[in-house]
Amino acid sequence: MTDTTDARTNPTTELPSQYAPAEVEQRRYESWVSNGYFTADAHSDKPPFTIVIPPPNVTGSLHVGHALDHTIQDAIIRRKRMQGFETLWLPGMDHAGIATQNVVERQLAANGQSRHDLGREAFVERVWQWKAESGGAILGQMRRLGDSVDWSRERFTMDEGLSRAVQTIFKKLYDDGLIYRANRIINWCPRCLTALSDIEVEHSDDDGELVSIRYGEGENAIVVATTRAETMLGDTAVAVHPDDERYKHLVGTEVELPLTGRRIPIVADEHVDPSFGTGAVKVTPAHDPNDFEIGQRHSLPSLTVMDERGVVTVPGPFEGLDRFEARPAIVAALRAEGRIVAEKRPYVHAVGHCSRCKTTVEPRLSLQWFVNTTPLAQAAGDAVRDGRVRIEPPELAKRYFAWVDNMHDWCISRQLWWGHRIPVWYGPAGEIVCVGPDEEPPSGEGWTQDEDVLDTWFSSGLWPFSTLGWPEQTPELAKFYPTSVLVTGYDILFFWVARMMMFGLYAMDGKQPFDVVALHGMVRDQYGKKMSKSFGNVVDPLDWIDRFGADATRFALARGANPGSDVAVSEEWTQGSRNFNNKLWNATRFALLNGATVEGDLPAELSTVDRWILSRLHHVIGEVDQCFQAFEFAKVCDALYHFAWDDVCDWYVELAKPVMQAGGPAADATRRVLGEVLDKLLKLLHPIVPFVTEELWLALTGGETIVRAPWPVAVPELVDDAAEAELATLQKVVTEIRRFRSDQGVKPTQRVTARLTGLDTAGIAAHESLIRSLARLDAADGDFAASATLAVSDQVTVELDTRGTIDVKAERARLEKDRAAAAKEQAQCQAKLGNEAFVGKAPEAVVAKIKDRLAAAEADLARIAAALEALPAS
């Protein structure tokens, strides 16, 4: 289907004088979607290129990290679409088990209810109702950003097809002995009452208390230190290093555990670090993962001393106390018995918190389902090592290997009601049956299904192939798997990327889920500081879209995006991106008003100026292609920004004006070249700034859409080094004259009489009229008297008659004031950079900015000194 309203026969008259993003973006986006420009064809004979979107939570909204991630993906997919690939960018959402259940439970709590009042089936139905009414707001926000996803293939991790995939792979892993049930230490949230994956635990340095406790008496006493005194009630041993001479005589003996009357052994274990603390550690196998491993090696009992809500269950004076109430009570009791040897407070140490409710996580011994990751992780590592999967930037591969080569078994069960329920049934005689998607579960009295659901990351780990129809052999799976590139933040390289690698290789017979993993960093503020509500520096990308437009927001984010590096952004830079779009708009509008065209071939005979801009264009095409291949989006934006603003708008448009005004064949050639340059430039910019480029390209060409226009290809024959060198000389001459005029306080519009010498030697004599036009210089007449001389280079000299154009006294005073300000700035920057304490602690970006300020101040001082010297005598 074609939107014929955009095929303009007289586009010039329809381009408004100003660009208004709000009037363009929604209209353009809906046109793209309705015309099917983003819809992929699984039966196409074009080469495939696939990206599956990292599925945002159904509870989420577009934050600045999403905006960066989606901008990068959209830029990649739009370029590939223009290059003739059959592109699929597949959208969807994650059901976000804990987050979504918490949302609905809060709604129930507001009405004085809990999920248990409804029962499991009714509660799950309520969550689906919430999803239909309130979930997925981020999908509409993705449209505002301009995501060119194939909405016809939108998926949700709880869809019927994806649920089938989850049940299929669980059954396969179970039958292959890679899923098992066991009592292990897991991360437990006493508020959400569920196990947590590592990704759901946020660590922070918290103030705590380190207490040293004496176990035993006399020569047989041993001192241990702990930040969680309440867990001592569950100690079943004290461990020391086998080579620690201080404790060798105690290994194999027993010591009384204070407050309990129990006697516990002292064991030797190589896990203990003899240089940390006293070199002796308490062992609580049911409440610490390292202690659990020690307990397994020494066959120690595991005593659970707290219930699922973190309340002490050991009979005695502390029973019924919350863990944080029990801690000081136990310390006080030990102090009363003279058992506290030392106390250190505050003691800063890393503490895990539930990412959803911020409750302190409790390591807990629990019966859970696990994935044996050893063979899966090895395959995931091999796929990168043998080159099937490339990680960009390559240096992050080391981090990937560090994780997959040392991966622990993965706890996949969650004590929730919202999610994929574990497909295992338990019989009355202890039978356990795992049921596949095409199998009937066992029936009869006493059979019950496992109450737990699977970790959300289990289903999202299937995303690259479950979204394409697996386990069915669909045309989409055949066409678009393996996917081409995964774009995501480096912070989930282990938690999500590694899981997709493991499951993709396992389920798809060794075929990797993606060919390239392109990792970007986190978005930070302009000072390199992490964004946080507590810092007050969080950016809402929707606010920027409202105020500056989606294109400006996208360009500001992409302009800071280098592989694996954090991205600094500010409102000021987004305003600058908006100004860039306006500059592009005005240049294209000028071109249209002056007859620029894309019709016909380029003329065989072109001026040096026309050959120069075409040469610059094809240099930039090659540079942009190289940067896209390397995922260096900041360099893409930088190259296009400077080409558009500097080469096209500031130079070529100005150089073209007198030519077009003069008319004739040269003017016609310039109009065609200007049209050619803008056509290619808009296409190059389209992946980053899709809306403004669509609007301008349609006005320039009258075509159907830039979305499917062919991507520019660099033509080596159009690269003209001689023309570029000649224009570089011209630009230097004009720039130096303009700078001199500015320094002397000559108004930009005021014309000055001047004599130019050395143009022949410099090889730019043919451009004298252009130089005079751009620099506002009149030819010397009989009344000419040089009052200032400017040596542009060894070859070119400019003599100017500035009589009557400068108030020398006022200008000298202005320059002296500017020199004082520049000297002050120089001194301040030198002082900061000379302060080793500041340089050592300040973020790298802040230090770099001060160095830039120093360089600018020194350049200003040199420029002002030259201007003062050039002033005529007053």
Amino acid at site 179: I
| Burial classification of residue 432, based on how many CB atoms lie within 10 Å of its CB (0-12 exposed, 13-18 middle, 19 or more buried) | exposed
Three-class SS of residue 648?
A: helix
Cis peptide before 482 (omega within 30 of 0): yes
Q: Give the chain's length.
A: 874
Amino acid at site 238: V
Contacts of 483 (CB under 8 A, 6+ apart): 50, 51, 52, 464, 513, 514, 515
Cα atoms found within 13 Å of the Cα of residue 44, Cβ hemisphere only: 16
| H or E segment and range at residue 204 | strand 201-215
Q: Interior CA angle at 572 toward 527 and 841, to 5°?
A: 10
Beta pairing partners, 312: 306
Q: In 3D, which of 440, 407, 413, 410 has the Cα closest to residue 425?
A: 440
d(CA 328, CA 307): 19
Q: Is 533 marked within a binding site?
A: yes
CA distances to 146, 390, 555, 632 from 518, in Å: 21, 8, 19, 10
Cα atoms found within 13 Å of the Cα of residue 371, Cβ hemisphere only: 25
Cα atoms found within 13 Å of the Cα of residue 261, Cβ hemisphere only: 3
Look at the alpha carbons of 733, 734, 740, 746 in this order and tell me if their dihedral is positive or negative. Answer: positive
For residue 89, the Cα-to-chain-centroid distance in whole angstroms is 18
Three-class SS of residue 508?
A: coil
| Burial classification of residue 221, based on how many CB atoms lie within 10 Å of its CB (0-12 exposed, 13-18 middle, 19 or more buried) | middle
Cα atoms found within 13 Å of the Cα of residue 586, Cβ hemisphere only: 11
d(CA 269, CA 739): 75
Residue 373 CB neighbours (<10 A)? 18
Q: In 3D, which of 789, 801, 802 has the Cα closest to residue 758?
A: 789
Q: Kindly state the DSSP code that residue 389 receives in the 8-state scheme.
A: S
Extract the tokens encoding 323.
């863990």
Three-class SS of residue 491?
A: helix
d(CA 563, CA 193): 38
Three-class SS of residue 369?
A: strand
Contacts of 212 (CB under 8 A, 6+ apart): 223, 224, 225, 277, 278, 340, 341, 342, 343
Q: In 3D, which of 771, 751, 762, 521 has the Cα closest to residue 634?
A: 521
CB contact at 8 A, 373 and 409: yes
**Annotated binding-site ranges for ATP:** 533
**Annotated binding-site ranges:** 533
